[in-house]
Amino acid sequence: MHFEEPSLALEAGYKAVNGRNYGEIKYDLTGKEGVKLSGATYDLKINNQRTPLEPLDDLDDGSDFRVCYALFSDVGGTEQSIKPMFTYICTPDTTTGSISRIAFYGNLTMTSSTTYTMPSNVHQRGQASPVGFYGDVGLYFGEELSEYRYGFTMNGNGLWNSFYRGTTALMFDEDKRKVNFKAHIPQSQLLLLKLSDTLRISNQFYNINSLETNYLSGVTKLDLTLVGNSQLEQFNTDSRNLENESTTDSVYATYLDATSGEIANVLILPNTTVAVSMVGSVIGSSGDLVETFA
């Protein structure tokens, strides 16, 4: 899963340091016996640019300045035409009680301001800037560091973990099988079937790929995918208890909220259990959690 090839200086610098493009994710899948699974490559390319943002440092004491900007030039400083690059827009961080002031020199005078907007690769609700210990959604497939706080982890909030893991689990699980059936299905039931339905046949669950009915003979050909003896976990809606067993540290948990359908997060205090209604399991957390069904 990846974006357009690097063309900007920060993209090239990131690739030189990390050996991969910013925001991409690659997996080689192995089976239960440790042998690589055979088959074609699943390649998802988004025709957009995805570039890291450049954080400014406070030259006075070297601390995080909490100001980021986007650089649209190559390593030689030449302006580049790129594919569309979507970004979140945030404002200066006000949670610390002081706002980072930026200034510009012009005609031997300095103009400063505390009212400005900045780009961001991370969305986080309830904060002026995406600088907290967790994020709602990151605009990358994998998991990157916070450009606003070097030491903060983003707790698995990439696009794959948030939106694609259920689908890829269905496609690449070696226990899943494509099967074909023929059946006489009453028209009253046939009219109610949707491709999003899950069929239960002999206590096993099947996802529907396609249906083809011969109305003269009444025979329906079903192209199905066997998903196991229970429905796929990442698509189930459950109430779960999230227990933080730590006696000292609070834990942030990121999950897909079953009511709103949005990526959400919750703060769990030490020695505390919180009940959450979610789709699938926890996407990521800042510490260890015990996850049980409510």
pLDDT tens track for 72-84 = 999 899 988 999 9
Mean pLDDT, residues 48-66 taken together: 78
Mean pLDDT, residues 223-247 taken together: 81
What residue ranges in 70-189 does DSSP mark as E strands?
A: 88-90, 102-106, 109-113, 118-120, 122-123, 137-138, 177-184
pLDDT over 70 (residue 239) = yes
Query: Sorting pLDDT into bands at 50, 70 and 90, what band is 129?
Result: very low
Query: Sorting pLDDT into bands at 50, 70 and 90, what band is 65?
Result: low
Query: Sorting pLDDT into bands at 50, 70 and 90, what band is 133?
Result: very low
Angstrom CA distances, 71 to 80, 118, 249, stand at: 10, 12, 38
- Tell me what pLDDT residue 164 has: 87
Q: Is 12 helix (H, G, I), strand (E, B) or coil?
A: helix
| 147, 52 Cβ separation under 8 angstroms | yes
Burial label for 131, CB within 10 Å (0-12, 13-18, 19+), is buried
**Distance of alpha carbon 283 from alpha carbon 262, whole angstroms:** 12
Among 215, 218, 195, 216, smallest CA distance to 207 is for 195
- Tell me what pLDDT residue 131 has: 43
pLDDT over 50 (residue 283) = yes
- Tell me what pLDDT residue 16 has: 94
- Between 262 and 153, where is the model more confident? 262
The helix (run of H) or strand (run of E) holding residue 283 is strand 272-285
